Amino acid sequence: MRVLGIEGTAWAASAAVFDDETDDVTIETDAYQPDSGGIHPREAAEHMREAIPSVVDRALSTADGPIDVVAFSRGPGLGPCLRVVGTAARALSQTLDVPLVGVNHMVAHLEIGRHRSGFESPVCLNVSGANAHVLGYRNGRYRVLGETMDTGAGNAIDKFTRHVGWTHPGGPKVEDAARSGEYLDLPYVVKGMDFSFSGIMSAAKQASDDGVPVEDVSRGLQETMFAMLTEVAERALSLTGRDELVVGGGVAQNERLQEMLREMAAQRGADVFVPESRFLRDNAGMIAVLGAKMAAAGDTIDVADSGIDADFRPDQVPVTWRSGESVDVRGDPVGAIRGAEAVVTVDDRTVTKRRRQKTYRHPSLDERLRRERTVEEARLTHDARRVGVPTPVIHDVDLTEHTIVFEYVGERDLRDALAESRVQAVGEHLTTLHDAGIVHGDPTTRNIRVDGPRTYLIDFGLGYYSRDVEDYAMDLHVFEQSLRGTANDPEALVETVESAYAASGDEVVLDRLRAIEGRGRYQ
């Protein structure tokens, strides 16, 4: 099967031909370069109109035989650009008299990594201009396990580079400047597997305005942002029990980010695959490859139903080309348990948790995070228990070794014993915490333990005190994301936890939760 792929979600007018028999991919791309500032949608769309015919002609000239399928990027992306590409794809499909396939751009980033690596069921970290999120496959869908709470990774970097007068794209310029800079401490915000770049951007701009050398700000920017992304990728691996990670998106071309991810993977015995650069930046090759898989599964569309979707969510895509696969999460081995940031050992009904040094992080950042999280975990575990939420008793805390010794609680993680009664208890516990002004920060199905009638909350290391409704809604959002990533019937469980929260909690929190879900932050 030979597939013509067409990509045009934002800046790259691209066409490619993929032959699934030889696995050859030929890509032709004409990139839009704004005169100043970031991407201007109308100018980008005009570039698409001028460039698409040329890149399609060049790609077709490399085809060793007739085209069997036309695939195009249906979304997410800039509406004006997507409409140009959609029109071109429909015309080519009709002219060539071949089936048409509409591809989700973000799923294509994941699938090209899976295709090139040969991994069976990896977690994917997508890091591009407008996007930053972690995806994992379960029960026929790619689930969003974590995402940015405000802006995409590349866009965040570009905001800083525009502030200091650098032209688009800013990422390579920051990478180059950072090589000669000294580390600068900047805000680090991770909530469960979600993260925020707005604070770090504001701090970076202010530091530059205050006269800090741009090389130092660039170094701090990279070290902080990429440490956040690496941490959430590791959390996703830990939550799902997977040991394979693929990376996608243009920002993933950054050598320092790749270095961090490989170091993290090596520490936990996982494998990481970064596709070659031509498949990381926006390109039609990944559209053609996924288009071939979808066409082989019969997942084609009629021209009349081939409209674009600028807000096309990756978890809206039925993953038909992987039907029949079983990818159940795996439980932890007995004895030492390696979590996302700590090694836990069980001995005589006690649990010793030691936060490991993360060598991928800058040493001063790593030391600060380990100490802060050990202190907060001890304090909040105690305070949660005091207000009536089941938590383990703390026997000892050693801030020098970043170690806490707890009472052993529960027989298993909630992840391995999901039931409506358990989830209802979590909703009630979160209500109690929030009434007391406590935010758990990371209430995933791995940070909840169960036995008999009791459901315990553990691992308050990302927790804090707050009276902000947004923070309470984020707690619920994190828990619901973890349900969608680990449960066979997540929506019934999500409804249960929200009903339990509504019974005694503040309805305003649930209203804010709906607003968070509607932001489509990963678009």
Report, as residue numbers or ranges, the catalytic residues: 442
Amino acid identity of 435?
D
What's the rounded Cα separation, in Å, for the pair 1 and 23?
A: 10
What is 189-257 written as a DSSP string?
Answer: -EETTEE--HHHHHHHHHHHHTT--HHHHHHHHHHHHHHHHHHHHHHHHHHHT--EEEEESGGGG-HHH
Q: Are the C-beta atoms of 349 and 405 separated by less than 8 Å?
A: no
Residues found in the chain: 523
φ and ψ at residue 4, rounded to 5 degrees = -95, 120
Cα 16 → chain centroid: 26
Write the CA distances from 353 to 266, 357, 396, 416, integer angstroms.
21, 13, 10, 21
What's the rounded Cα separation, in Å, for the pair 267 and 255?
A: 18
Amino acid identity of 504?
S
3-state SS, residue 151: coil
Write the CA distances from 279 to 110, 112, 137, 322, integer angstroms.
10, 7, 21, 21
What's the rounded Cα separation, in Å, for the pair 196 and 400?
A: 29
3-state SS, residue 427: helix
List all residues 6 or more positions away from 21 whose beta carbon is below 8 Å from its beta carbon.
1
What's the rounded Cα separation, in Å, for the pair 442 and 192?
A: 4
What's the rounded Cα separation, in Å, for the pair 521 and 510?
A: 18
Amino acid identity of 211?
G
**Which strand ranges, in their side-by-side order, compose the sheet holding 337-338?**
337-338, 342-347, 350-355, 403-407, 394-398
